[in-house]
Amino acid sequence: MSREDDRQASAERPSDPTLLTDGGTSELATVAELAKRRGFFFQTAESYGGVGGLVTYGPQGSALKRNIEDRWRDRFVTRAGNMELSAPDVMPEPVFEASGHLDGFDDMIVECPECETAHRADHLVEDSSEHEDAEALGIEQIGELIGELEIACPDCGTALAGESVDEFNLMFGTDIGPGSSQPGYLRPETAQGIFTEFPRLKEYARGKLPFGVAQIGDAYRNEIAPRRGLIRVRAFTQAELEQFIDPEEDEPAIEAVADVELPLYTAPAQADEGGQETYTVRKAVEEGVIESAWIAYYLGLARDWYEAIGIDMDRFRYRQHKAGERAHYAADCWDAETELDGEWVEVTGFAYRSDYDLTNHAAATGDGFTVFKQYDEPKTVERPGVDPDMSTLGPEFGGDASAVADALASLAASEPDAFTGDTVTVEIGGDSATVATDVANFAVETVTETGEHITPHVVEPSFGIGRLFYSVLVHSYETDEVDGEERTYLSVPAELAPTFACVVPLVSNEPALVEQAEQIRDQLRDAGLEVAYDESGAIGRRYRRQDEIGTPVCVTVDHESIEEEPTSVTVRDRDTTAQARVPVTELRDCLLALRAGTSFSDLLDRDAVTPV
């Protein structure tokens, strides 16, 4: 059998390029149309008019998304020796009070006075100017720019100058339980489900730092203006790793990634309107371009992973956050960005969260969010402390007596010189309390310590699975010409492809061919391969359908397959359309080798394989 059958079909063309995009015939619109038609993703509840920012992954999309998640789990959990958990999507309100999300998880909103449509104010500025990161600007400056740029409502054209720009919290609120229920929220990130369980997780790690805990799950943000397909949605999947470290002692295995080259777009370069530069991980750390060796380590580790899942490295960079755009918890942050349709889109955030989260949860709960750090040798230290006379504090301060005693203990630890006078004053809930020094019973004791309790710092790589999925689709979208006809195909890596192989009988009206094809299909599925079966239409059209969803190989059962010995089939390569005859007895092993990374050209070198 030859490639002559490829000429029997032409690729199906996009019919509605505006699906899930801002319209037009852009790269994203073309891919979004293909995604809907071929079952990768589409808008949720279309029968009811659809819901902005909610997307359903179809059969092909669910498989591709799952494969990306599995590759992430393999690299950042299994091979890294980390733990994984699965926490609920809903958590009680106090969790997000402690994490800072109720106060600091806001976007800027402006409403049209005519049609009352709400818009993301900083996005309007970005769309109307050269500002790439308007989110880093303050509310007042955004309001001024809306007026200076004469920005109008994108929906009805009404001028927005002078309209109030406000903060809008992105949290989805809910109630936990009936009646006088407990207020709760859908999580805006999976990370808090890890942080809140730290007192138990440290036991599983036997209290030894460093250790990592990962989670893949859905997060929810009530976006003001969802847009651009999977780029800005209200429900999305995150794959997050929280690496808990001792900031004074723990170092990453930097040598393992030292020579990996990183395309860096630093904050100083952005301020000076410069461009990105390439650094090795080693050089970036030595020159202080990346402050944290841990962040540098994960940038290096992830860079090769991105390439392995099909991200085009010519359309990829790491961008450092400027001071004004960092999340409330981040001491330093870098984004992995991919270029989609001429714009850079964040797909991963690498944040040094320091001890922000664990310290806040400890303060809110009083639970053990520290680990005990054993000294190499016991240390003898002087420890100031107090032993307040509660029989005096009780009558004097009533219900505040315990709070006064706690404040005295904290002051003794931080400022022992405060107890040198006759009295000492502490702050309690905004009020001051003065206590006689002899009532506080201040003293300095000499103690021998074997260790100390420390609050770990956290390094967090947070991957947006949906945006990575979208980037893989866009970057793998290819067109070429086969025998004078244009062809569309997705060049996704073989191990990620939603369907790895499709078995097709040459014609569907010959029972012997169909029976043989069905047997081969079942045998390959039993071998653990993702195999489709297609007997509808001309053989060339069937090839085109599989090319368009990224199926790496098609296995064709033809007359030679049932008339000659040894029994063989034709295997067709997606990217090159090259074909080879493979004995059925060798087929399983050949396909497993292709899925594991063997090239089709290398497959042709096998003795049993014959090029067609």
The model's pLDDT over 524-550, given as tens digits with 9 standing for 90+, comes to: 999 999 999 999 999 999 999 999 999
What pairing do the DSSP bridges indicate for beta strands 343-354 and 332-340?
antiparallel
Q: Is the model's pLDDT at 8 over the cut of 80? A: no
- SS3 for 415-434 is CHHHHCCCEEEEEECCEEEE
Indicate the burial class of 550 (C-beta count within 10 angstroms; 0-12, 13-18, 19 or more).
buried
Q: Among all chains, which residue has been given the structure tokens 């569907």? A: 508
Confidence of residue 19 (pLDDT cuts 50, 70, 90): very low
- Domain regions of the chain by residue span: 106-169, 375-446, 499-611
C-alpha distances in Å from residue 40, one per residue of 36, 133, 393: 6, 30, 69
Give the three-class secondary structure for 180. Answer: coil
What are the pLDDT digits (tens) for 83-100?
A: 999 999 999 999 999 998
Give the three-class secondary structure for 226. Answer: coil
The class that CATH gives domain 106-169 is alpha beta
Picking from 538, 547, 542, 535, the residue whose alpha carbon sits closest to that of residue 481 is 547
Q: Hey, how many other C-beta atoms are within 10 angstroms of the C-beta on 45?
A: 10
Indicate the burial class of 203 (C-beta count within 10 angstroms; 0-12, 13-18, 19 or more).
exposed
Confidence of residue 328 (pLDDT cuts 50, 70, 90): low
C-alpha atoms less than 13 angstroms from C-alpha of 327 in its C-beta half-sphere: 22
pTM here?
0.86
Domain covering 499-611: architecture: 3-Layer(aba) Sandwich (3.40)
Picking from 318, 305, 347, the residue whose alpha carbon sits closest to that of residue 463 is 347
Structure tokens at 67: 């494969």
- Rounded to the nearest 10 degrees, how much is the dihedral formed by the CA atoms of 289, 291, 295, 296? 40
In whole angstroms, give the CA distance from residue 108 to residue 225.
11
pLDDT number for residue 14? 33
What are the pLDDT digits (tens) for 357-392?
A: 999 999 999 999 999 999 888 989 888 999 999 999
* 153 contacts 119 by C-beta, under 8 angstroms: yes
Q: Is the model's pLDDT at 323 over the cut of 90? A: no
Structure tokens at 525: 């599925």
Confidence of residue 327 (pLDDT cuts 50, 70, 90): low
Picking from 359, 355, 337, the residue whose alpha carbon sits closest to that of residue 346 is 337
In sequence order, which residues have a C-beta less than 8 Å from that of residue 257 and are 6 or more positions away? 281, 296, 297, 300, 301
Q: Among all chains, which residue has been given the structure tokens 């104010």? A: 121
In whole angstroms, give the CA distance from residue 491 to residue 473.
9
In whole angstroms, give the CA distance from residue 186 to residue 48.
24
Structure tokens at 58: 């179809």
* 531 contacts 524 by C-beta, under 8 angstroms: yes
Least confident of 90-99, 195-204, 270-279, 284-293: 270-279
How does the average pLDDT of the chain come out, rounded? 91
C-alpha atoms less than 13 angstroms from C-alpha of 36 in its C-beta half-sphere: 21
Handedness of CA 521, 522, 526, 528 (dihedral sign): positive
Structure tokens at 23: 């319209």
DSSP-derived secondary structure letter, 76: I
Structure tokens at 611: 């090029």
Least confident of 30-44, 55-69, 175-189: 175-189
* 89 contacts 186 by C-beta, under 8 angstroms: yes
Picking from 10, 8, 32, 2, the residue whose alpha carbon sits closest to that of residue 481 is 10
Q: Is the model's pLDDT at 571 over the cut of 90? A: yes
* 499 contacts 551 by C-beta, under 8 angstroms: yes
> What would you measure as the largest C-alpha separation in the chain, in angstroms?
108
What pairing do the DSSP bridges indicate for beta strands 55-57 and 442-454?
unpaired
